[in-house]
Amino acid sequence: MELRKELPEVFEEFAEARKNSFLAIKKIKDAGTPIVGVFCTYLPREIANAMGAAVVGLCSVSDETIPDAEKDLPRNLCPLIKSSYGFARTDKCPFFYFSDLVVGETTCDGKKKMYEMLAEFKSVHVVQLPNSQTEDGYELYRKELIRFKEVLEEKFEIKITEEAIAKEIKKRNGINRALTRLQYTMAQDPAPVMGLDIINTVYGSGFQMNTDTLEETIDAVTDKIEKEYQEGKNIGKRPRILVTGSPSGGAALKVIRAIEENGGVVVCFENCTGMKPLAEVDEENPDVYDALSRKYLSIGCSCMSPNKARMELLEKLIKDFKVDAVVDLVLQACHTYNVETAMVKKLVKDKMGIPYTVVETDYSQADVGQIQTRMAAFIEML
C-alpha cells in the first residue's frame, strides 16, 4: 500500500476551474453568446443550453461582499443570500456582471425577497417552485419550465425546440453519470483520495464552459484514480464521514478541511454540490418538460415538505459508502435545513446506529479554531 500525500495533478484543472472561468466569461460575452446566470440545482440548465447559452452558477460562497450586502439586507440572513447579493451589487463577480439574465427560484423566503431587490439593477426572472413532490407539483413545475423557455425565447429572440432540449438532456445525463461514477470511487475502503479533492472537482465541473467534452474529462479523472488505486495508492484507513446539510462550497469547506486534517476522510457529500442533484432525466419520456420537471423536482432539498427524498438518499448513501459517522453542515439562518437536523439525527443515530453531529457556521473564518477542536474530538471518538 502506498499512502497518497501530494495533491494529485489530476485535480488541479478542476480546482482552478472557477478562476479560469472568470477569464473565459468575457471572451464568451464578446463572441455574442447569451449568458444566463442561475442559483440552484432545481433549475434545468438544459433549457438555456438548448438555445446555445452559456449557463453560469451565481451562488457566492465568500464573506468578501457581505458588509456591502448588509447595507440593504438584514445581518441575521443566510450568508449565501447575502454573499450572492453583495457580489451582484458591487460588480465584483464577472458572472453577475456579464449575465444577460439572472434566473432565481423560490426555494426559500430569503431568496425570494432578495430577487425583488436584485431586479432593481439586473434583468431577473423567477421560476416558481412547488413545495411538495406530488403530481400537482410536477404539473405546476412543468408549466413553469415552459414559461421559462418562453421568457428566454422572447428576450433573446430565438426559438428553443424540444429536439434541442432532448439533445441537452442526453448530454447532461452523461455528465451526471460521470460525476456519480467519480464520487463512487470513494466507496472503496480505504478511500483512494481525500474528499476535499473530490468535492473541488465536482464543484469545479459546474464552471466548465465547454460541456461538450465535460463527461469525457471527468471520466478521465476517474480512470486515473481507479488505475492508481489498483496499483495500491490510497490514503490509508481513516474514519469515513458523510457530509450533509446546506449548500456548501468555498468558505464552508473549512468544515471539510477540519475533518480531514484531524484524521477523518469525507467519503460522500449528500448536499447539492455532491450527490443530491445527480439523478438522470428520463430520455424515453416524449414530453421533455414533464421529464425535466420530474427529475429536478425530485431533488431532496429541505424546502420540500415532506422531504422523504432526502432521507431515502441519505440512508442509501450511508450504506453504499460504508459510512462511520455523519456531519450535518448548516449555514446560519438556513432555517429549513436547521429544522431538518432533528429528522436527520433520528435517521442516522436511531435507525442507522452511527454517530452524528451538527456544525452551524457561516462564511467567515472566525470559527475555524472552534470547528477544528470539535472535529478533532468527534474523529477521536470514532
CATH number at residue 16: 3.40.50.11890
The answer to the question of residue 303 being in a domain is no
pLDDT score at 306? 96
Q: Average pLDDT in the 48-69 region?
A: 92
Query: Contact at 8 Å (CB) between 322 and 293?
Result: no
Q: Calculate the alpha carbon distances from 150 to 4, 48, 49, 140, 158 in Å.
A: 51, 11, 14, 16, 10
Residue indicated by cell numbers 477521536:
380
Cell numbers that stand for 119 in this block? 431586479
Residue 248 lies in a domain: no
Q: What domain range is 62 assigned to?
A: 12-163
Nearest of 264, 258, 262, 259 to residue 367 by alpha carbon: 258
Q: How confident is the model at residue 4 (pLDDT cuts 50, 70, 90)?
A: low
Per the domain annotation, does 261 fall within a domain?
Answer: no
Residue 76 lies in a domain: yes
Segment 166-219, tens digit of pLDDT? 999 999 999 999 999 999 999 999 999 999 999 989 988 888 878 999 999 999
Query: Would you state the pLDDT for residue 5?
Result: 47
- Closest by CA position to 201, among listed 212, 191, 193: 193
Q: What is the pTM of this model?
A: 0.94
For residue 207, which of 64, 100, 29, 58 has the smallest C-alpha distance?
Answer: 58
DSSP 206-266: TT-S-TTTHHHHHHHHHHHHHHHHHTTEE--S--EEEEEES---GGGGHHHHHHHHTT-EE
The verdict on residue 183 lying in a domain is: no
Model confidence at 1, pLDDT cuts 50, 70, 90, reads low
Rounded to whole angstroms, the Cα distance separating 354 from 1 reads 28
Instruction: Report the chain's mean pLDDT, rounded to a whole number.
Output: 93
The DSSP H or E segment spanning 87 is helix 79-90
Which pLDDT belongs to residue 134? 97
69 belongs to a structural domain: yes
Do the domain assignments include residue 278? no
**Number of Cα atoms under 13 Å in the Cβ half of residue 354:** 20
In a domain, 262, yes or no: no
Number of domains forming the structure of the chain = 1
